[in-house]
Amino acid sequence: MAHKSKTQRAKASTAKANRKDRQIREEEAAESTSVAAEEKAEESKGGLLKKKESKPEAKQQAAAAAKKESKPKKVRFQFLKDVRAEMKRVTWPTRQDVVRWTGVVVGALLFFGLFVAVLDNLVITPALLGLGTITGA
């Protein structure tokens, strides 16, 4: 069996994380829906004249849910976690590739620098001087 490339492994890892996040969101939505349904059922059982009783369990659950929703640390540092995960997925060039392409870039810079210098000194400057002597006479 052939080995997966880094890109394939990264895509599989991302897909797995997305499935996990989706499952967590679905579970949270199901919990919030069931809690809301239970509260409505309790309210409808009470009748008009019956005094509502406050249950400490319901208050604790509500407090826990509110506490769960107000965690700014996850949101605050989520960007850095995403950056770290993305940097793991990057396919970095080898040292040999970096040296080779650095040489190509330096060579291109030298070539075009010399080309512009020759063009400027041997073509453009004499042409401008020739035009200056014609118009000045």
Q: Is pLDDT larger for residue 126 or for residue 75?
A: 126
Residue 29 tokens, joined: 């939505």
pLDDT score of 31: 82
Alpha carbons 99 and 107: distance in angstroms, whole number: 12
Instruction: Specify the 3-state DSSP secondary structure of 23.
Output: helix
pLDDT digits (tens, 9 = 90+) for 42-88: 666 655 555 555 566 767 777 766 666 555 555 778 889 999 999 99
pLDDT band at 41 (very low <50, low <70, confident <90, very high): low
**Is the pLDDT confidence value at 30 over 80?**
yes
Instruction: Specify the 3-state DSSP secondary structure of 118.
Output: helix
Alpha carbons 41 and 132: distance in angstroms, whole number: 97
What is the average per-residue pLDDT within 2-24? 85
Alpha carbons 87 and 91: distance in angstroms, whole number: 9
Q: Is pLDDT larger for residue 56 or for residue 6?
A: 6
pLDDT digits (tens, 9 = 90+) for 87-116: 999 999 999 999 999 999 999 999 999 999
Ramachandran angles phi, psi of 136, nearest 5°: -80, -20
pLDDT band at 12 (very low <50, low <70, confident <90, very high): confident
Alpha carbons 31 and 96: distance in angstroms, whole number: 54
Residue 64 tokens, joined: 């826990």
Burial of 61: CB neighbours in 10 Å, binned 0-12, 13-18, 19+: middle
Sign, CA dihedral 53-55-61-66, equals positive
Q: Is pLDDT larger for residue 30 or for residue 61?
A: 30
Q: Are 88 and 17 in contact (CB under 8 A)?
A: no
